[in-house]
Amino acid sequence: EIGRAEIVCDGADATILVYGMLFGQAWQAVQHLQAAGRTVRLVNLRTVKPIDEETVIAAALETSLLVTLEDHFLTGGLYSIVSETLLRYRLAVPVLPIALPDRWFKPALLPAVLAQESFTGPLIAEAIQTCLRGRN
């Protein structure tokens, strides 16, 4: 159903919000985090317009950290949509955006681009672990 997210697994330490081609990398990140003793909710948003506000708000209230993961610029994509949603509901929660900085990536084969932009499962997991450790 358009606008309905799929909760792939549940956890309380963090929620990874993802859509599209980075889903596989998000799944790998979850595996790494679980191996490190973290519980992670993985949400496949499927669509960002419309976004499943109910699922986003529940994740914000029920987990310690929201992570937006997208192969898009930081501005104008999933991070912006989630931020606007949180603001509309007057929620101030920690959000870790993982996205392209304000520049295009260097063309290469997909595995090289993923590594260069820190979009691999292990690098995503490392960024989340670092953020969670900084909150403790």
pLDDT digits (tens, 9 = 90+) for 16-67: 999 999 999 999 999 999 999 999 999 999 999 999 999 999 999 999 999 9
pLDDT value at residue 65: 97
pLDDT value at residue 101: 79
Residue 136, pLDDT > 70, answer: no
129 versus 74: the higher-pLDDT residue is 129
Residue 114, pLDDT > 90, answer: no
Between the CA of residue 52 and those of 44, 100, 113, 120, 132, what are the distances in Å?
10, 23, 29, 25, 25
